[in-house]
Chains A and B, each alone.
Chain A
Amino acid sequence: MSENESEALGYNRRDFLRGGSVATLMAMMGGVELFAQTNEVPAATIKAPTIKIKVAVVGLGAWGREILGTLGRMPQAELAIDAEIAAICDTYKPFLRRGASAAPAATQTEDYKTILDNKDIKAVIIATPTPSHKEVALAALKAGKHVYCEAPLAGSIDDAREIALAAKAAKHLAFQAGLQMRSDKQRLFLLPFVRTGALGKTVLARAQWHKKTSWRATSPNPEQEKALNWRLNKATSIGLIGEIGSHPIDQAGWFMNALPTAVTGFGSTNFWKDDRDVPDTVQAVFEFPGDVRMIYDATLANSFDGEYEMLYGSDAAIMMRESRAWMFKEVDSPLLGWEVYATKLKVFNETGIALVAGASKPPPVDAKGQPIQPDPLTTTPLFYSLSNFLLNAAELTQAAEDYKSSYGADDVDGLMEELGKKRRRASAGYLEGFQAAVTAVKANEAILTGKRIELKPEWYELQ
């Protein structure tokens, strides 16, 4: 890859290698202990002063409960925030009861508006069915709450645009779309690696999600069952490509620093023959600039090989599974000096080089100097995504208080301008959430019609 090509990807290879310098090289060497052995026991992890923040979770289906569980693990990760789950909300009482077991101290409510009236609650996490994202998100932003809204932002481009524009206007609030890969430490580690050309020229991307499950929820109440199964109805759902595919498709574009230019889709209901009108098996081919295509498939009818993402380049391919990644080199690709020392893994007949974020850093140690193994439940993309959101929210809240105490509460414009400049931890913002929703909505349209749809650049603009 030439310097010009890497520049187009937003990274300059020289700067990447020089600016991060030794830190970068160490990170790239993956799995190699580079520090001189000393007798001194490294200092224990400093516990930073914590910022307290009260948060509410609206929507307590399976994913909402996953969010509750993840929030509950934050104290053990010794983050700089102390997130208290102050309230939980769902219109379906069984979900509310199940959510309460994960957050017993939280106020329970079936009406999200009571949460918005609570001045002590600063942040709201929205995990409701996609069709209701807009109502809750707009109301929460209007009430001055920081908002984390699960992806896809909405089931229509108009709704996604409304949410994104409201978030854009609320400069003093943290808004994050639930594209958690954008906060994942492993992906963030891989990003400059890919963009500076370690794979050569990117030629192909692929992702899959295979899980045998019906997606159907049961309820003794027929009306409630319809509401619970909103994902199976094309009037309320953008199907597998939207609810699941949003994440790897956004990730591929993020790595390639490009938006797709067209999508062709296919869908069929191969196995779950019930009253659903949403396909249980889909494929989509996304066209990206430079003649690169991404092939995505998802099925509810088979679990083999689960979910993973691939990027293929002329020198190497990268596989990403959960929070792990491997690089598979071409026999004629140049030798990267560090790979001699890297951990290798046999995958079928291929040898993969483990790419591990933070592997070269000295691990945290206990009082006896023994390495402490990280808790896998505190190193998931969702964990990083939620913790970054809460840190951003807490810091924005703090910054607003600092500004008002220094310059008075009347200078609203100045406050908004100042907060707009605040550096925020890695996350998907309103623009990324909106653009991912545009892609998902159009891809679903392609799947349902079996057609190729050109994705116009102006559709991705937020005005």
Chain B
Amino acid sequence: MKIRTVIAGNIAFLMLATAGLQAADQMITYSAKPGSKMRIEGTANILHPTWQIESPIIGGMIEVGPGFPTEPGQAATPGRIEASGKVFMSVRSFKSVESDGKPFSDRMDEVTYEHLKETQFRTINYKLTELTLKEVPKAKDAPYVFDSVGELTIAGVTNTIKMPVNILPVVDPKTKGLEITGSTAVKMTDYKVEVVDINLGVGHIRTGDEVKLVFKWLLVQKKAAAAAAAAK
């Protein structure tokens, strides 16, 4: 009995130690890769009743814990996922475009940078604080639906925002990655960003307060900590 207890205890210890080791190296890091897009859509009063600016560059990373689906169609249980992330976009990388994506106006760009106080706050930042899996896809090529909570900082002002995001694991022969898409509406005055109210050549333009952020963010998985440790 005593020996069995000792052995059982040792096995239990080994299992716990192994579980701990697995927990530590099940944190997976994904880094931003090219091909992303952030679009900010708004409204105005005349001639161009909608406006939009786009950036093709979204930088940053996310780190996700156990239970996060890393491959398409992977089984997963809805619920809170351990996760953190940082996103940044250069204000100057945003350019105004027509609704079909064609360039709109350099002057509009200058007005945008001025309103976003670009000389003081060169980037728009987002910090992910919570990630909860809501829905597991029925098809292998469909995304997982999450609820996210994070802190969005525009022109130096930070607000907590909640938004649903779709995350699609992407696997190709060489890499694993993620395609994260989503959208959310924010009010610019919540970030102390004044609405545009200016003569812009073709008339007096006054933009609406509410804007919509629509994004597609591509990331590639970094080597797992375990693989790095194993390499040692």
- A residues whose Cβ falls under 8 Å from a Cβ of B: 21-23, 26, 35, 42-43, 46-51, 80, 358, 361-362, 391, 395, 398-399, 401-403, 405-407, 411, 414, 417-418, 421, 423, 425
Contacts and interface: CB of A to CB of B under 8 A. Distances in A.
17 contacts: A21-B47, A22-B47, A22-B202, A23-B202, A42-B199, A43-B198, A46-B198, A80-B110, A358-B201, A398-B93, A399-B92, A401-B90, A402-B92, A405-B59, A406-B57, A407-B32, A417-B34
A48 B113 contact: yes
A419 to B, nearest CB: 11
B90 A402 contact: yes
Nearest 7 interchain pairs by C-beta: A406-B59, A48-B110, A402-B90, A23-B202, A49-B119, A42-B199, A49-B118
Contacts of B202: 22-23, 26, 361
B88 A406 contact: yes
A394 to B, nearest CB: 10
B90 A398 contact: yes
B9 to A, nearest CB: 48
Nearest to A402: B90
A421 B60 CA distance: 22
Interface in B82-113: 88, 90, 92-93, 95, 103, 106, 109-111, 113
Nearest to B109: A48
B90 A418 contact: no
B173 interface: no
B32 A418 contact: no
Given A23-B202, A35-B203, A47-B114, A403 B57 contact: yes
B197 interface: yes
A74 to B, nearest CB: 15
Q: Secondary structure of the B side of the interface? A: mixed
Given A22-B47, A418-B34, 6 more contacts: A43-B198, A48-B113, A80-B113, A403-B57, A406-B60, A418-B56
B47 A43 contact: no
Given A395-B92, A398-B92, A361 B113 contact: no
B134 interface: no
A358 B107 CA distance: 14
B58 interface: yes
Nearest to A34: B203
A46 B32 contact: no
A406 B198 contact: no
A423 B95 contact: yes
Contacts of B106: 391, 425
Interface of B: 32-34, 47, 56-60, 88, 90, 92-93, 95, 103, 106, 109-111, 113-114, 118-119, 197-199, 201-204
Contact of A406 (B32, B111, B113, B201): B32
Contacts, number: 79
B219 to A, nearest CB: 11
Contacts of B59: 402, 405-407
B88 A23 contact: no
Nearest to B106: A425
Given A405-B59, A407-B34, A23 B198 contact: no
B201 A361 contact: yes
- Residue from A21, A48, A411 with most neighbouring chain B CB atoms (10 Å): A48
A10 to B, nearest CB: 15
Contacts of B118: 49
B34 A411 contact: yes
B113 A49 contact: yes
Given A22-B202, A407-B34, A402 B57 contact: yes
A44 to B, nearest CB: 9
Contact of B114 (A35, A48, A406): A48
A80 B32 CA distance: 30
Given A49-B118, A49-B119, A418-B56, A402 B197 contact: no
A455 to B, nearest CB: 33
- Residue from B59, B92, B202 with most neighbouring chain A CB atoms (10 Å): B202
B193 to A, nearest CB: 14
Given A402-B57, A418-B34, A362 B199 contact: yes
Nearest to B47: A22
Contacts of B60: 406
Nearest to A47: B114
A407 B33 contact: yes
B58 A406 contact: yes
Contacts of B92: 51, 395, 398-399, 402
Contacts of A411: 34
Contacts of A403: 34, 57
A187 B90 CA distance: 33
B58 to A, nearest CB: 7
Nearest to A50: B119
A162 B110 CA distance: 36
Nearest to A388: B106
Contacts of A80: 110, 113
A361 B199 CA distance: 9
Contacts of B33: 407
A35 B92 CA distance: 32
Contacts of B47: 21-23
B110 A46 contact: yes
Contact of B201 (A23, A43, A51): A23
Contacts of B58: 406
Contacts of A49: 110, 113-114, 118-119
A49 B109 CA distance: 10
Nearest to B220: A407
A407 B34 CA distance: 7
Contacts of A398: 90, 92-93
A80 B95 CA distance: 14
A211 B113 CA distance: 46
Contacts of A407: 32-34, 57, 59
A382 B88 CA distance: 38
Contacts of A401: 90
Nearest to A405: B59
A9 B168 CA distance: 45
A46 B111 contact: yes
